[in-house]
Copies of this chain bind each other. A is one copy, B any other.
Amino acid sequence: MLPRLDPVVHGDWTPGAPLSRDQTERFERDGFVVLHDLFTAQEIAALQASATRLIADPGALDARTVISEPGVDEVRSIFMIHRQNALMERLARDERLAGIARFILDDEVYLHQSRLNYKPGFVGREFYWHSDFETWHVEDGMPRMRSLSMSVLLAPNTATNGPLMLIPGSHRSYCACAGETPEEHYLASLRKQEYGVPDTVTLAGLAAEGGIAAPTGEAGTVVVFDCNVMHGSNGNITPFPRANAFFVYNAVSNRLTAPFGVPQPRPEFVAARQGTHALPRPGSTLLETARSSQVA
């Protein structure tokens, strides 16, 4: 366990910032902040419809980007949704999300990774504790802690359907994980993480100090979390599936270099090396994009 060297909130808060002072301070302290009511009911419905279409027809997608549940023939994640779906690309660019990323990271941003996560009812499996940065640094060559994730809930997150859990404050330490990372580890880890996970003593210590938060919220809720906060989720035996669109924003000044711990970097669809120009501002509203992409 090493103390964090990089800032959490890279920018300075001003009254014009896209987060309130309180939200900014909570992000700094806890490593995450939950935003409600960013989107209209119509926008949420359009996003849900897009997600449903993506999951309903995985054959239409780049096969490598479609990941199934371990042992179950159901889609767990679809990667690179911002290059496979016009509305998801538009969502990623939305000022309500990208504007917050630019403020916290104090830089122009691009998408390091995007995906649609789907945790089916009855058989949804757990996702064990991990800090994203550990993987992004070791396997992808991300230099510094200057990136963050946003999870846009597309179904209600309740206390019982396996919501995202985070350990508040855990983003202030870097937890170097024991053991060598096997080659092409990502192929298995996208299904079930077994390497690069923290040991139980470390986790127990972090949770004893910070507790465990499991934000709940209706569809449309956005969880913004730091690249180094420890998070995971329990399984889901309830009938209520869980889905979210997930975007990783990285500062353009923090583009990937050679991996720090493995010889071969992971492929483009999990760790962008091309298309890392600053994310452009959108030219149309989310609903306009929804309408035109449905016609197309």
Contact = CB atoms under 8 A, between A and B. Distances in A.
Interface string A221-233: 0000000000011
A204 B121 contact: yes
A165 B238 contact: yes
Contact of A239 (B200, B236, B238): B200
A288 to B, nearest CB: 35
A239 B205 CA distance: 9
A293 interface: no
Contact of A207 (B208, B212, B234, B240): B240
A53 to B, nearest CB: 22
A237 interface: yes
Q: Is the interface of A mostly helix, strand, loop or mixed?
A: loop
Nearest to A204: B239
Interface stretch (A58-66, A122-130, A182-190): A122-130
A214 interface: yes
A235 B122 contact: no
Interface of A: 121-122, 126, 128-129, 158-160, 162, 165, 200, 203-204, 207-208, 212, 214, 232-240
